[in-house]
Amino acid sequence: MMVEIERCSHSRSGWECRGSWTDSRGGRHSAEVAHTDINDKGRSLKARTGPFGVHAGSLWQDTPLLLAAGLFLAGGAAIVLLSRFVNREVAQVAQRILTDPGPALTLLVDRSTARRPDGQEYALLRLGDPELPLPPGTDAERYATLRRSDGRISSSLTWSDDEVRLLEPGRMTVEARIPHLDLQSGRPRIENAEGRLLAEIVRASGHTGNVYCIAAPDGTELGRFARLRRRTWALRLEPGCSTLVADMVLAHLFTVGRAA
Protein backbone atom coordinates (compact mmCIF):
# COMPACT_ATOMS: atom_id res chain seq x y z
CA MET A 1 0.00 0.00 0.00
CA MET A 2 1.03 3.63 -0.50
CA VAL A 3 1.11 5.92 2.53
CA GLU A 4 1.32 9.70 2.33
CA ILE A 5 3.54 11.14 5.07
CA GLU A 6 1.67 14.17 6.39
CA ARG A 7 3.58 15.47 9.39
CA CYS A 8 6.69 14.74 11.43
CA SER A 9 7.79 15.74 14.92
CA HIS A 10 11.07 15.27 16.73
CA SER A 11 11.27 13.17 19.90
CA ARG A 12 14.06 11.82 22.10
CA SER A 13 14.25 8.67 19.99
CA GLY A 14 14.30 10.55 16.67
CA TRP A 15 11.67 11.57 14.17
CA GLU A 16 8.07 10.41 14.49
CA CYS A 17 6.02 10.73 11.33
CA ARG A 18 2.34 10.09 10.71
CA GLY A 19 0.81 9.15 7.42
CA SER A 20 -2.55 8.26 5.93
CA TRP A 21 -3.75 5.80 3.31
CA THR A 22 -6.87 4.43 1.70
CA ASP A 23 -7.64 0.72 1.93
CA SER A 24 -9.13 -1.47 -0.81
CA ARG A 25 -12.66 -0.68 0.38
CA GLY A 26 -12.14 3.06 0.30
CA GLY A 27 -11.67 3.44 4.04
CA ARG A 28 -9.29 6.13 5.19
CA HIS A 29 -6.71 5.38 7.90
CA SER A 30 -3.99 7.29 9.72
CA ALA A 31 -1.14 6.03 11.91
CA GLU A 32 2.47 6.54 12.87
CA VAL A 33 4.79 5.15 10.19
CA ALA A 34 8.05 3.60 11.32
CA HIS A 35 11.37 3.96 9.46
CA THR A 36 10.56 7.49 8.24
CA ASP A 37 12.00 10.93 9.04
CA ILE A 38 11.54 14.61 8.21
CA ASN A 39 12.89 14.06 4.68
CA ASP A 40 9.85 11.88 3.92
CA LYS A 41 7.29 14.54 4.80
CA GLY A 42 4.93 15.16 1.86
CA ARG A 43 6.05 12.02 0.03
CA SER A 44 4.05 8.92 -0.81
CA LEU A 45 5.91 5.81 0.32
CA LYS A 46 5.36 2.13 -0.13
CA ALA A 47 4.53 0.72 3.30
CA ARG A 48 3.03 -2.32 4.96
CA THR A 49 1.52 -3.34 8.26
CA GLY A 50 3.33 -5.73 10.57
CA PRO A 51 3.41 -6.93 14.18
CA PHE A 52 4.83 -3.57 15.26
CA GLY A 53 2.44 -1.32 13.31
CA VAL A 54 2.86 0.44 9.96
CA HIS A 55 6.35 0.77 8.56
CA ALA A 56 7.94 1.90 5.35
CA GLY A 57 10.51 -0.21 3.58
CA SER A 58 11.42 -3.86 4.07
CA LEU A 59 10.47 -6.17 6.94
CA TRP A 60 14.21 -6.87 7.36
CA GLN A 61 14.51 -3.61 9.27
CA ASP A 62 12.34 -5.17 11.99
CA THR A 63 14.39 -8.37 12.13
CA PRO A 64 16.06 -7.61 15.51
CA LEU A 65 12.69 -6.91 17.11
CA LEU A 66 11.12 -9.99 15.55
CA LEU A 67 14.00 -12.19 16.71
CA ALA A 68 13.81 -10.77 20.23
CA ALA A 69 10.06 -11.34 20.36
CA GLY A 70 10.45 -14.88 19.05
CA LEU A 71 13.12 -15.73 21.59
CA PHE A 72 11.02 -14.26 24.40
CA LEU A 73 7.96 -16.29 23.42
CA ALA A 74 9.98 -19.47 22.97
CA GLY A 75 11.66 -19.00 26.34
CA GLY A 76 8.34 -18.38 28.06
CA ALA A 77 6.83 -21.50 26.49
CA ALA A 78 9.84 -23.58 27.56
CA ILE A 79 9.54 -22.35 31.15
CA VAL A 80 5.82 -23.20 31.26
CA LEU A 81 6.41 -26.69 29.84
CA LEU A 82 9.29 -27.37 32.24
CA SER A 83 7.22 -26.18 35.20
CA ARG A 84 4.36 -28.48 34.22
CA PHE A 85 6.73 -31.41 33.83
CA VAL A 86 8.32 -30.82 37.25
CA ASN A 87 4.94 -30.34 38.96
CA ARG A 88 3.62 -33.55 37.39
CA GLU A 89 6.70 -35.48 38.53
CA VAL A 90 6.38 -34.13 42.09
CA ALA A 91 2.66 -34.99 42.18
CA GLN A 92 3.50 -38.56 41.15
CA VAL A 93 6.03 -38.79 43.99
CA ALA A 94 3.39 -37.45 46.38
CA GLN A 95 0.94 -40.13 45.24
CA ARG A 96 3.54 -42.82 45.89
CA ILE A 97 4.15 -41.40 49.38
CA LEU A 98 0.45 -41.89 50.11
CA THR A 99 0.16 -45.37 48.62
CA ASP A 100 3.48 -47.07 49.45
CA PRO A 101 2.88 -50.02 51.81
CA GLY A 102 4.40 -50.26 55.26
CA PRO A 103 3.81 -49.20 58.86
CA ALA A 104 4.50 -45.50 58.25
CA LEU A 105 1.94 -42.81 59.06
CA THR A 106 0.80 -41.10 55.85
CA LEU A 107 -1.03 -37.77 55.87
CA LEU A 108 -2.44 -35.15 53.54
CA VAL A 109 -1.52 -31.74 54.94
CA ASP A 110 -3.19 -28.55 53.75
CA ARG A 111 -3.25 -25.05 55.24
CA SER A 112 -4.83 -26.10 58.54
CA THR A 113 -5.56 -29.84 58.61
CA ALA A 114 -3.64 -33.10 58.47
CA ARG A 115 -5.77 -36.08 57.38
CA ARG A 116 -5.13 -39.71 56.68
CA PRO A 117 -5.66 -40.80 53.06
CA ASP A 118 -9.09 -42.19 54.02
CA GLY A 119 -10.17 -38.72 55.16
CA GLN A 120 -9.85 -39.29 58.92
CA GLU A 121 -8.60 -36.19 60.69
CA TYR A 122 -5.23 -36.55 62.44
CA ALA A 123 -4.36 -33.00 63.50
CA LEU A 124 -5.88 -29.55 63.20
CA LEU A 125 -4.27 -26.12 63.31
CA ARG A 126 -6.50 -23.72 65.21
CA LEU A 127 -5.61 -20.04 64.98
CA GLY A 128 -6.46 -17.85 67.96
CA ASP A 129 -7.67 -20.81 70.04
CA PRO A 130 -10.07 -19.32 72.65
CA GLU A 131 -9.32 -22.12 75.14
CA LEU A 132 -5.77 -20.90 75.63
CA PRO A 133 -4.87 -17.34 76.61
CA LEU A 134 -2.54 -15.53 74.24
CA PRO A 135 0.97 -15.48 75.74
CA PRO A 136 2.24 -11.95 76.46
CA GLY A 137 3.99 -10.29 73.53
CA THR A 138 2.68 -12.82 71.00
CA ASP A 139 1.14 -11.80 67.67
CA ALA A 140 -2.40 -13.22 67.65
CA GLU A 141 -2.20 -13.82 63.89
CA ARG A 142 0.91 -15.96 64.32
CA TYR A 143 -0.15 -18.07 67.27
CA ALA A 144 -2.10 -21.33 67.04
CA THR A 145 -2.72 -24.65 68.73
CA LEU A 146 -2.16 -28.09 67.27
CA ARG A 147 -5.06 -30.38 68.18
CA ARG A 148 -5.44 -34.11 67.70
CA SER A 149 -8.56 -35.68 66.22
CA ASP A 150 -10.02 -36.17 69.72
CA GLY A 151 -9.76 -32.43 70.40
CA ARG A 152 -6.78 -32.70 72.72
CA ILE A 153 -4.21 -29.90 72.44
CA SER A 154 -0.85 -31.53 71.80
CA SER A 155 1.12 -28.30 71.52
CA SER A 156 0.92 -24.67 70.54
CA LEU A 157 3.07 -22.87 68.03
CA THR A 158 4.15 -19.41 67.07
CA TRP A 159 6.12 -18.26 64.07
CA SER A 160 7.85 -15.26 62.59
CA ASP A 161 9.60 -14.57 59.29
CA ASP A 162 12.76 -16.08 60.76
CA GLU A 163 11.63 -18.89 63.07
CA VAL A 164 8.94 -21.48 63.82
CA ARG A 165 8.58 -22.51 67.47
CA LEU A 166 6.68 -25.41 69.04
CA LEU A 167 5.57 -24.59 72.59
CA GLU A 168 4.06 -26.37 75.56
CA PRO A 169 0.29 -25.77 75.43
CA GLY A 170 -0.61 -22.40 76.91
CA ARG A 171 2.97 -21.57 77.84
CA MET A 172 5.95 -19.93 76.18
CA THR A 173 8.29 -22.81 77.02
CA VAL A 174 9.91 -23.86 73.75
CA GLU A 175 9.93 -27.60 73.03
CA ALA A 176 11.40 -27.44 69.52
CA ARG A 177 12.15 -24.87 66.84
CA ILE A 178 13.30 -24.29 63.29
CA PRO A 179 15.56 -21.22 63.63
CA HIS A 180 17.13 -18.86 61.09
CA LEU A 181 14.79 -19.71 58.21
CA ASP A 182 16.37 -17.14 55.88
CA LEU A 183 19.87 -18.51 56.46
CA GLN A 184 19.04 -22.21 56.08
CA SER A 185 16.17 -22.19 53.59
CA GLY A 186 17.70 -25.12 51.72
CA ARG A 187 18.24 -27.32 54.80
CA PRO A 188 16.08 -26.28 57.79
CA ARG A 189 17.22 -27.66 61.15
CA ILE A 190 14.77 -28.95 63.74
CA GLU A 191 16.31 -28.30 67.16
CA ASN A 192 15.19 -28.89 70.74
CA ALA A 193 14.99 -26.11 73.32
CA GLU A 194 18.74 -26.39 74.03
CA GLY A 195 19.68 -26.13 70.36
CA ARG A 196 20.49 -29.83 69.89
CA LEU A 197 19.80 -31.09 66.38
CA LEU A 198 16.81 -33.44 66.21
CA ALA A 199 16.40 -33.65 62.43
CA GLU A 200 16.93 -31.76 59.18
CA ILE A 201 14.59 -31.13 56.28
CA VAL A 202 16.59 -31.72 53.10
CA ARG A 203 15.75 -31.91 49.41
CA ALA A 204 15.36 -35.50 48.29
CA SER A 205 18.14 -36.54 45.93
CA GLY A 206 17.13 -37.31 42.37
CA HIS A 207 14.21 -34.87 42.35
CA THR A 208 14.00 -31.36 40.92
CA GLY A 209 10.87 -30.08 42.66
CA ASN A 210 9.22 -29.89 46.07
CA VAL A 211 10.24 -33.30 47.43
CA TYR A 212 11.92 -33.38 50.85
CA CYS A 213 13.34 -35.89 53.30
CA ILE A 214 13.28 -35.65 57.09
CA ALA A 215 16.72 -36.88 58.15
CA ALA A 216 17.96 -37.75 61.63
CA PRO A 217 21.42 -36.47 62.68
CA ASP A 218 22.91 -39.86 61.71
CA GLY A 219 21.31 -39.68 58.26
CA THR A 220 18.44 -42.09 58.93
CA GLU A 221 15.32 -41.13 57.00
CA LEU A 222 12.50 -40.35 59.42
CA GLY A 223 10.03 -39.44 56.70
CA ARG A 224 9.48 -37.44 53.55
CA PHE A 225 6.96 -35.11 52.02
CA ALA A 226 6.12 -33.80 48.55
CA ARG A 227 3.69 -31.26 47.16
CA LEU A 228 0.62 -33.04 45.81
CA ARG A 229 -0.97 -29.84 44.56
CA ARG A 230 -0.91 -26.18 45.50
CA ARG A 231 -0.86 -25.79 49.31
CA THR A 232 -1.37 -29.51 49.87
CA TRP A 233 1.43 -31.87 50.86
CA ALA A 234 1.69 -35.65 51.07
CA LEU A 235 3.60 -36.55 54.25
CA ARG A 236 5.02 -39.90 55.31
CA LEU A 237 6.39 -40.39 58.85
CA GLU A 238 8.33 -43.55 59.61
CA PRO A 239 7.84 -45.42 62.93
CA GLY A 240 11.22 -44.13 64.15
CA CYS A 241 10.11 -40.49 63.91
CA SER A 242 9.44 -39.04 67.37
CA THR A 243 6.20 -37.23 68.16
CA LEU A 244 8.16 -34.02 68.75
CA VAL A 245 9.81 -34.13 65.32
CA ALA A 246 6.50 -35.12 63.69
CA ASP A 247 4.69 -32.17 65.28
CA MET A 248 7.52 -29.84 64.28
CA VAL A 249 7.26 -31.01 60.66
CA LEU A 250 3.50 -30.38 60.75
CA ALA A 251 4.17 -26.92 62.20
CA HIS A 252 6.60 -26.27 59.34
CA LEU A 253 4.05 -27.32 56.71
CA PHE A 254 1.24 -25.36 58.38
CA THR A 255 3.34 -22.17 58.38
CA VAL A 256 6.27 -22.05 55.94
CA GLY A 257 4.77 -24.68 53.63
CA ARG A 258 1.31 -23.17 53.36
CA ALA A 259 2.50 -20.69 50.74
CA ALA A 260 3.87 -23.37 48.40
pLDDT at 2 over 90: no
pLDDT band at 75 (very low <50, low <70, confident <90, very high): low
Determine the 3-state secondary structure of 72 from DSSP: helix
Amino acid sitting at position 233: W
User: 260 pLDDT band (50/70/90 cuts)?
Assistant: very low
Contacts of 169 (CB under 8 A, 6+ apart): 132, 145, 153, 154, 155, 156
Question: Which of 130-139, 185-194, 210-219 shows the lowest per-residue confidence on average (mean pLDDT)?
Answer: 130-139
Angle at 252 (CA atoms; ends 224, 188), nearest 5 degrees: 75
For 111-166, the pLDDT digits (tens) are: 899 999 999 999 999 887 777 777 777 787 888 889 998 989 988 898 988 899 99
Residue 251 CA to residue 68 CA, distance in Å, equals 46
Judged by average pLDDT, the poorest of 30-34, 63-67, 99-103, 146-150 is 63-67
At the topology level, CATH places domain 84-259 in Porin (2.40.160)
Taking all residues of the chain, what is their mean pLDDT, rounded to a whole number? 83
Q: What is the DSSP string of 149-171?
A: TTS-EEEEEEE-SS-EEEE-TTS
**Structure confidence at residue 22 as a pLDDT band (50, 70, 90):** confident
Please report the pLDDT score of residue 41 as a whole number.
86
Domain segments of the chain as ranges: 2-57, 84-259
Helix count and strand count (H, E) for the chain? 2, 17
Considering only residues 175 and 71, tell me which one the structure prediction assigns the higher pLDDT: 175
